[in-house]
Amino acid sequence: MALVHTPEKIEFGQDLPDFLLLATDGKSYKKKDFLNHNPLVVMFICNHCPYVKAIEDRLIALGHDLKKLNINVIAICSNDEVNYPDDSYQNLKKRAEEKKYPFVYLHDKTQEVAKRFGAVCTPDFFVYDQQAKLSYRGNLDDSWKEPSQVKNRELFDAVIELSQNKKISRPQTPSMGCSIKWIK
């Protein structure tokens, strides 16, 4: 397990990249399917990463909390499914069903979408504003390992500020996790 941090220098204002990906619900989705004049949260996650497993219940809570506000959350798995079979389409589907994910879980089999986003690890979080411009790339919260230690829901708070047409008021702390498992 190689620990990777998201870059500290982020080029905010970049457009949401295009994509067309198969989801665990059997449907294919494009970026326009998630644009509704509200912010959009894009999470690069996977099934096997211990960093994702540690925050999975908080990701589910985030999905439920933002869904109530008509804010879309999507998850994308871009890992090499041959060398990491836990991250195969069938296992993504199984996990999404077992955990009743309140967000669409997309499979990036070719890894082209992860490259377009510049995703580097799982989890890796991107938040786009109402104009589909990158506005946040940082942590989920301030305690990746211990839910009871969370004092600030950094990503949630940033999304709420964006939804109110405000600028994000707090510094953005890089996310950390396992490197994306690139196809060799």
The set of residues, in sequence order, having a beta carbon less than 8 Å from that of 29 and lying 6+ positions away, is 19, 20, 21, 23, 74, 104, 106
| Domains identified in the chain and CATH numbers | 36-169 (3.40.30.10)
Residue 1: the pLDDT is 59
Per-residue CA distances from 13 to 38, 47, 116, 134 (Å): 15, 30, 15, 5
Residue 44: the pLDDT is 98
Distance CA 158, CA 139 (A): 10
Q: Strands 176-179 and 121-122: what pairing? A: antiparallel
Q: Strands 104-107 and 121-122: what pairing? A: unpaired
CB hemisphere CA count around 80 (13 angstroms): 10
Phi, psi of 73 (to 5 degrees): -130, 130
Residue 145: the pLDDT is 85
Which residue from 174, 143, 1, 8 is spatially nearest to 79, judged by alpha carbons? Answer: 1
pLDDT along the chain (184 residues), means of 10: 82 96 98 98 97 97 98 98 98 98 98 97 98 97 90 97 96 94 94
Question: Which structure tokens are listed for 17?
Answer: 């990249």
pTM of structure: 0.97
Cβ atoms of 155 and 39 within 8 Å: the answer is: no
